[in-house]
Structure 1
Amino acid sequence: MTETLEGKHIVVTGGTGALGGAVVGKLLSDGAICHVPNAHAAAPTHFPFTTHDRVQLVHNVDLSDPAKVEAFYSQVPGLWGSIHLAGGFTAAPVEKIESASFAEMMDTNARTAFLCCRAAIRSMLSSDIAGRIVNVTARAGLDPRRGAGMVAYAASKAAVAAMTVAMAEELKHKGILVNAVAPSTLDTPTNRADMPDADATRWVSLEAAAEAIAYLASPANQAMSGTLVPLYGRA
């Protein structure tokens, strides 16, 4: 088995975001063909790979809609890998969390990850491809004591972690490897703007996170499955 991503088709949800851009860039440098769903009708102006010949940017894909998710995955030929970065964050004291806000976190983080995992697994099984799936949980999903005001977010990311391990166990005899990374604070422009007094040198760089994700999605990873990889930097 080759240990490169050359010519391999990989889905990257959330690929137009800060981490997504770093992951897509890393995968392209490794020779992959990237399929990126976009929730909007037009390409975001900040996404640098819109016209890249190995990037398929597909618009109007609502990742919370099972039919649209299935339709998106059905047009990816020979799916090798599926990386799920799409998600959201909210924080509030538990007594102030509305039921709708809790449901939104579960939909945005856990349900979209499940729908994309399911569609990817269906595609891989139908093509007899022993591919790779990489989810993104969070430090708060593995250690909910880490911060106040994160009940809804931590619950949704803990669900992603649990799904990852359960799927890996279920698929271990079918060759599909399922893992997740669990970042703490990522060094993004948004986080720097929101936390101007924090020591950003202790955060996880986008490049380091992208390297870890690309490895888990690559044929070079032949043994890791059901692993929740902590990406905590020096925090």
Structure 2
Amino acid sequence: MSARVMLITGGFGGLGTRLGALAADAGYKVALVGRSRAQDTGFPALRLEGIDTGRPEEARKAVDLVVEQLGGLDVLVNATGDFTIGSVQDGNVEDWARLYAANVVPAVAASQAAIPALVASGSGRIVNVGAALGGQGAPFVGAASASKSALARMTEAAAAELAESGVTVNIVLPTIIDSPRNRQMMPDADPADWVSYEQVAGAILSLAAPEAGDRTGQAIPIGF
């Protein structure tokens, strides 16, 4: 059987890069896409830089390049996202639109672009990277919570719509990922109980497997 193909949006961030490395080790042909400049991180991958998957035409361009150069598409991982801290009372209103544009719109556009190829795969998988805070609003993270909640609802809707197609759609919900940016934004927090890139990547790879065809519309908590 030929190697499965995985496309990771947000592929040049810490999680995307680590997932790409682990997926390559597991035998996947990996494509990384992102708006920033690609860096060679030591594992084989198709690196598509300067592409904003929040724009439908650019998302379609990325998918077309992956299908053309890697021979198809089996797994889409939507790992783009952003986060901010601010209160409902005094926070920046523009943050709400910005986080929706960062956390929801790229996942919708990339999924729309990828679905035909994923259906053709016969065992297509979409895995969205959400957050535990999307389950319930909390002080000072309202914009992030609302946008991640919207991503979870998008996951459920897409799973139901694609139920007869062979394509599954799931979402992983880490608590706080131990990333350089989170350490910078929360310097007084103790990262000892935060979630590692490896933990998130492991859950994604489990959902991406051909054998995971009976798992769809699920929200997988990580770090509880």
Q: TM-score, structure 1 length as denominator?
A: 0.87
Partners in 2 of 1:59 and 1:195 — Cα distance? 29
Superposed counterparts of 1:73-84, under 5 Å: 73-77=63-67, 78-84=72-78
Aligned pair 1:206/2:197, yes or no? yes
Q: Secondary structure at the match of 1:166?
A: helix
Q: Is the 8 A contact 2:166 2:213 kept in 1?
A: no
What is aligned with 1:131? 124
Q: Secondary structure at the match of 1:230?
A: strand
Unaligned 5+ runs, structure 2: none
Distance of aligned partners of 1:128 and 1:207 in 2 relative to their CA distance in 1, 3 Å threshold: closer
Distance of aligned partners of 1:39 and 1:24 in 2 relative to their CA distance in 1, 3 Å threshold: same
Partners in 2 of 1:151 and 1:196 — Cα distance? 20
Partners in 2 of 1:197 and 1:156 — Cα distance? 25
Q: Secondary structure at the match of 1:87?
A: coil
Question: What percent of counterpart residues are identical?
Answer: 31
Superposed counterparts of 1:1-235, under 5 Å: 7-40=3-36, 42-44=37-39, 48-49=41-42, 52=43, 54-77=44-67, 78-125=72-119, 127=120, 129-144=122-137, 147-233=138-224
Partners in 2 of 1:80 and 1:187 — Cα distance? 28
Partners in 2 of 1:194 and 1:92 — Cα distance? 12
Q: Secondary structure at the match of 1:89?
A: coil
Runs of 4+ displaced beyond 6 Å: none
Q: Is the 8 A contact 1:38 1:58 kept in 2?
A: yes
Q: For residue 155 of structure 1, report the CA deviation from its aligned partner.
A: 1.0
Q: For residue 113 of structure 1, report the CA deviation from its aligned partner.
A: 0.9
Q: Is the 8 A contact 1:13 1:86 kept in 2?
A: yes
Q: For residue 130 of structure 1, report the CA deviation from its aligned partner.
A: 2.7
2:130 partner amino acid: T
Aligned residues: 220
Q: Which gives a bigger RCO, structure 1 or 2 (Cα 8 Å, sep 6+)?
A: 1
Partners in 2 of 1:102 and 1:197 — Cα distance? 25
Q: For residue 128 of structure 1, report the CA deviation from its aligned partner.
A: 5.1
Partners in 2 of 1:222 and 1:75 — Cα distance? 26
Q: Is the 8 A contact 1:79 1:129 kept in 2?
A: no
Q: What is the Cα-based RMSD across aligned positions, in Å? A: 1.7
Q: For residue 201 of structure 1, report the CA deviation from its aligned partner.
A: 2.1
Unaligned 5+ runs, structure 1: none
